[in-house]
Structure 1
Amino acid sequence: MFDPHCAGRRRVLASIGGLVAAAFAPPALSLPGNSRTPPPGERLETLAQLPPPPPALRRALEPLRGKAVLVNFWATWCEPCRTEMPALVSLAESEPGLALVTVAVADRTDEVRRFFDEHLVDPLLVNDPEQVVSRTWDVRYLPTTVLLDAAHQPLLRVRGEIDWHHDSVRTRIRSAATSLRTPRT
């Protein structure tokens, strides 16, 4: 049988319990932007290997041999992708040894061109309407960006939007892109 007085007491006790828990929570856990929040550059995960690029991506990478490459998987219908694209273009333009290749995942070519025209950017584009490239490289989130070294071997990956203007991101990209790696056999 339902007792409204008992239910009211439970709600009051639950509220008091929540307030007590919040009062004793460590301050670093309760404040956004606390000192324990890692810089965005730490979101770039080290990548040991990837399958060989499918033909469409391989053709786009070939003229960029000798340059590190950011391969950005995105779509015009993905708002975080649209938001970060100008910063990615800016990063690639500001680093002489770095190029940008965009992979338009499940997108229409006319929409992609319209977006680039509206934002006055013109990165190298690989259309991936059937998601061949993204499936080969196991891209499940948009945006996803992979950094390849000058020999086009994978170095780093970030899943999701990131602040490409942040110093920690630029430093990590610059450091990884210029590091010498032992060739794979």
Structure 2
Amino acid sequence: MSDMRRAMRRRVLTSIGGLAAATLAPAVCATARAGSPDDRFEAIDLAAPPPPALRRALDPLRGRAVLVNFWATWCEPCRTEMPALVSLDEAEPAIALVTVAVADRMDEVRRFFADHLVDPIVVADPEQVISRAWDVSYLPTTLLLDAAHQPRLRVRGEIDWHTDAVRARIRAFAGRSPAHA
């Protein structure tokens, strides 16, 4: 077998492997769970700093609480909750929204946002570097970062960001100092 054929074969196999990994992970695309929406917030304390791509998106948002939403265009619950997240971002000036497109194609991400006439901050995570660093194994997953950008709360799965209980929880969280979040 010639060197060129070997190189082409390796390239094809690598492409197939990457495509398979992107379509299979994260393993779960979670739907809404039962119970009070306010019960869905889990306290967390992640020691890992934001990976560089996410840190670049967070730097201009210093001093503000941030919702970091891990999602994908191929995840139906993610697509369903995104308009409510964007609406929350627009309605609450003390909170910023950063979306992390997990194992997704950026042309699909841009098309989704253009179709919905929204323009949130988007960080690409095609190889799931950010997802792995912050232990995200379900989509959608949203982390609430305090004003110092430390992850404090997590919601796994779809949630209705329009409900009064959820918005009150977010407002209360955004109003706290990092030491009290």
Matched, 1:39 2:36: yes
Identity of aligned pairs, percent? 73
Higher relative contact order (CA 8 A, sep 6+): 2
Matched, 1:79 2:76: yes
Q: 2:125, 2:170 → 1: CA distance?
A: 25
Give 1:125's match in structure 2, choosing from 109, 122, 127.
122
Q: 2:71, 2:47 → 1: CA distance?
A: 18
RMSD value over aligned CA atoms?
1.2
Q: Deviation of residue 38 (structure 1)?
A: 3.6
Q: 1:181, 1:99 → 2: CA distance?
A: 15
Matched, 1:139 2:143: no
Matched, 1:99 2:122: no
Q: 1:56, 1:38 → 2: CA distance?
A: 34
TM-score by length of 1: 0.77
2:3 paired residue number: none
SS of the residue 2:139 aligns to = coil
1:66 paired residue number: 63
Which residue identity lines up with residue 162 of structure 1 in the other structure?
Answer: I
Q: 2:45, 2:160 → 1: CA distance?
A: 23
Cα deviation, 1:36-79, whole Å, max 9, x if unaligned, reads x7421110111123410100000000000011100000000000
Unaligned runs of 5+ in 2: 1-33
Matched, 1:156 2:153: yes
| Aligned positions, number | 147
Which residue identity lines up with residue 88 of structure 2 in the other structure?
Answer: L
2:109 paired residue number: 112
The list of structure 1 runs, each at least 4 consecutive aligned residues, that deviate by more than 3 angstroms after superposition, is none
2:22 paired residue number: none
Matched, 1:178 2:175: yes
Q: Deviation of residue 181 (structure 1)?
A: 3.1
Unaligned runs of 5+ in 1: 1-36
Q: Deviation of residue 182 (structure 1)?
A: 2.4
